[in-house]
Amino acid sequence: MFLPSVHAETDDAVLLQFIRENPLGMLITGINSSLDFLQCTHVPVVLDAPEDCDDSAPQGRLRAHIAKQNPQVKGMIESLESKDGVITLETDVLVVFNGKHDHYVTPKFYVETKPDSGKVVPTWNYSAVQVYGKLSLYYDSKTPEAGNFLAQQVHDLSQHTEKSIMGYTGGENPQPWKVSDAPEKYVELLQRNIVGIQIRIDKLQGKFKMSQEMRPGDRDGVVKGFSRMGGETGEAIASMVEERGILHEKKKQKD
């Protein structure tokens, strides 16, 4: 990821919260096998925060599951020797998380620089977080270690997405769906056809490209432009540009 300092987010707490709020990641691997070297799978993840992990994962872990028939999984299994139903890749993997809202930015929004010199061009505002780390694959649900991992993973993911994403928390809201709501034999069958993924987080990178590099008048024009555009995306981008602009100005004052 290209990370100009003006767009970089270096606070791990902010980056981890971003993953919680945007749990659909793109898992990218490069594996020597009879299949394509580069593979990518979109997969929702559970984040285990650093305080919930042991010393082997001081920056936290990601957990997920994907189909056993996925070519990415076949490449992993083909390339390495297994031990008790678990494979650990030798090379790092990359997981990319994108923010919910991104949008093209027209130069017409730059009300300070465009009338002054005309030296403005279009761009795209977006936010993203990248995770690098070591991946362990739990591929045989019949082994105790993989079976327990998959059961816990499926439970934790459903609880996170039902409560945090859907807002089903009980009380005045609907009750969250639980794995136990499905027939036990049906769940066992599904688990035999998936594999568990665990990634130790070794490096976090984050980028919020929200017009921070522009002059204050231009940023204000971007905020007003997206506010006029309206809708969920327009309002969200306007809010983020304003928020990131304030943070940028405070950082400049400290420097």
C-alpha–C-alpha distance, residues 29 and 86, integer Å:
17
Question: pLDDT of 156-213, one tens digit each?
Answer: 999 999 999 999 999 899 999 999 999 999 999 999 999 999 999 999 999 999 999 9
Question: pLDDT of 92-101, one tens digit each?
Answer: 999 999 999 9
Q: Mention every residue, 6+ apart, whose C-beta is less than 8 A from residue 185.
A: none
Tokens of 192: 């035999």
**CATH code of the domain occupying 8-105+121-212:** 2.30.110.10
- Asked whether the predicted pLDDT for residue 82 surpasses 80, the reply is no
**pTM for this predicted structure:** 0.94
What was the pLDDT predicted at 79?
Answer: 78
Which pLDDT band holds residue 83 (cuts at 50, 70, 90)?
low
Residues 209-237 have a mean pLDDT of 97
Alpha-carbon dihedral 49, 54, 58, 62, rounded to 10 degrees: -50
Residue type, 3: L
Residue type, 120: V
Domain boundaries defined on the chain: 8-105+121-212
Which pLDDT band holds residue 13 (cuts at 50, 70, 90)?
very high
Question: pLDDT of 107-142, one tens digit each?
Answer: 999 999 988 888 999 999 999 999 999 999 999 888
Q: What are phi and psi of 228, to 5 degrees?
A: -65, -35
Tell me the pairing of strands 61-67 and 86-88.
unpaired
C-alpha–C-alpha distance, residues 129 and 16, integer Å:
9
Residues 137-151 have a mean pLDDT of 92
What was the pLDDT predicted at 84?
Answer: 67
- Asked whether the predicted pLDDT for residue 16 surpasses 70, the reply is yes
Tokens of 251: 């950082």
